[in-house]
Chains A and B, each alone.
Chain A
Amino acid sequence: MSNYFDSDDLARFGEIGQHGQKLADDFFKYYGAVTGSDGALTKREKALIALAVAHSEKFAYCIDAYTTACLESGSNPEQMMEAVHVAAVMKAGITLVHSVQMHKHLDKLVS
């Protein structure tokens, strides 16, 4: 049975250069510059942000990769779970704030 997602494929990330090596090289250079070292944010903080985004985007490869990256940059499971809650609460808030639009349209239709 074939699978659309295979965890071993994470190691094949570099293959995105097929049919477009220059753009892939530019992307990886940018990726390394953003995530590879401490800047205004520490590598630990960047890994926690990436972990939260991986959850909000529901992307298994990056959840695996950034769970490891968080541990390797010194985060603990409580900090990692709190980052996921930040992603979750953003999703919830973004959903809920759209109810303003619903209320506006309700008012237009009913009042």
Chain B
Amino acid sequence: MSAVLKIHPVAPDSADTHDGRDPLAAPPAGLARHDFDALLAARGLNLPPQSISTLQVNITRLCNQVCRHCHVDASPTRTEALSREGVERCIALLAAYPEIRTLDITGGAPELHPDFAWMVQEARALGRQVLVRHNLTVTFDPHPQTGASMAHLPDFFARHGCEVVCSLPYYQAYFTDSQRGRGVFDKSIEGLKRLNALGYGQPDSDRVLNLVYNPAGPYLPAAQATLQTDFKRELQARFGIVFNSLYTITNMPIHRFALHLHKSGQFEAYMDKLLTAFNPQAAEGVMCRNLISVGYDGSLYDCDFNQQIELPAEMAGSARPSIFDFNFAALMQRRIRFGAHCLGCTAGAGSSCGGVTA
């Protein structure tokens, strides 16, 4: 039974760093002092699962952008995508387990998956909260592989009550374009204006628009509340844009960002920075304690980062847990798998797909 859909590839993008090999597929070992399990033990911390309230599905690694810090190595040339069978199985899991209250659809640009719309509609029909991790520019670029217009997306989100979570590294072009590509900032602002026009982020609306900040380099995010105040003030003053909340996310030392750190000789210093900033309170709130991540082949992981470094979830009775042998009770008893990269989620105020954890 295959859960993988192969999307027809296009000619390689010259800016794409992915060459079919995965130079950092293994978890970033760091040095002995970066051993996360040893750190937890030394601090007397035990972090078992608390719930599975979110199913986070990475349905495709295809993206219209090639961002410098993408932990998925997503790009217009990636072909991995969850099969229709896999998408249907995810919906069946939502139907079977009301404890899973949220479907969090990510990628790549998840909207480029051929079954994205169906998945959203079915999950909403089941009454689930649906989060779409939306890069804002996908609305304006033609589908990288079919050439189809994606201009319908804001209306689609509004019609189906999706909560939209958008990447916007800064309220100025400098940081945003350096990280996500030239011209991305201007398109992102236009995308936000369209969402605002549909009621997203407006104070009297239930259409939720959240933004995601991540640093442009190997440093920690500023305080989330402070940055949110800055973003709200500046986006309103400069562009008339409003939004609900800002999530700050720390750059994870894996894949494309790790490659950048290694090439620039900053990997060890960044890992030490994360280690020095380890916060036990942030560790208590790590997102892996409350979600299960699903890969493009249906495999299960403790989080999207573990997924990208091929560190599968442990589930009693299964050599390689997937959506097809999903066992809620067994997953609740699992040992969450940690690695040196987890220091990224526990530094400072913590980091997760929903922002700070402390």
Residues of chain A whose beta carbon lies under 8 Å from any beta carbon of chain B: 11, 42, 44, 68, 71-74, 76-78
Interfacial chain A residues near B156, Cβ < 8 Å: none
Contact: A74 with B219, CB < 8 Å? no
Contact: B215 with A71, CB < 8 Å? yes
Interfacial chain A residues near B272, Cβ < 8 Å: 11
| Cβ contact of A72, chosen from B172, B175, B220, cutoff 8 A | B220
Say yes or no: is B38 at the interface (Cβ < 8 Å to chain A): no
**Interface bin, chain B:** 10 to 19
- Shortest Cβ gap from A81 to chain B (Å): 11
Q: Chain B binding site: helix, strand, loop or mixed by DSSP?
A: loop
Contact: B215 with A74, CB < 8 Å? no
Chain A binder among B48-56, B185-193, B222-230, B312-320: B222-230
Interfacial chain B residues near A78, Cβ < 8 Å: 172
Known: A72-B220, A76-B170. 15 other contacts (CB 8 A): A11-B272, A44-B222, A71-B215, A71-B216, A71-B217, A72-B219, A72-B222, A74-B222, A74-B223, A74-B226, A74-B230, A76-B172, A76-B174, A76-B175, A78-B172
Write the B189-214 contact mask toward A (1 if CB under 8 angstroms, else 0).
00000000000000000000000000
Interfacial chain A residues near B227, Cβ < 8 Å: 74
- Shortest Cβ gap from A79 to chain B (Å): 10
Interfacial chain A residues near B220, Cβ < 8 Å: 72
Interfacial chain B residues near A73, Cβ < 8 Å: 222-223, 226
Listed by A's residue number, 28 A-B pairs whose Cβ atoms lie within 8 Å are A11-B272, A42-B226, A44-B222, A44-B226, A68-B219, A71-B215, A71-B216, A71-B217, A71-B219, A71-B222, A72-B215, A72-B219, A72-B220, A72-B221, A72-B222, A73-B222, A73-B223, A73-B226, A74-B222, A74-B223, A74-B226, A74-B227, A74-B230, A76-B170, A76-B172, A76-B174, A77-B174, A78-B172
Interfacial chain B residues near A76, Cβ < 8 Å: 170, 172, 174-175
- Shortest Cβ gap from A54 to chain B (Å): 16
Distance of A42 Cα from B227 Cα, bound (Å): 13
Distance of A11 Cα from B275 Cα, bound (Å): 14
Distance of A68 Cα from B172 Cα, bound (Å): 18
Distance of A72 Cα from B276 Cα, bound (Å): 14
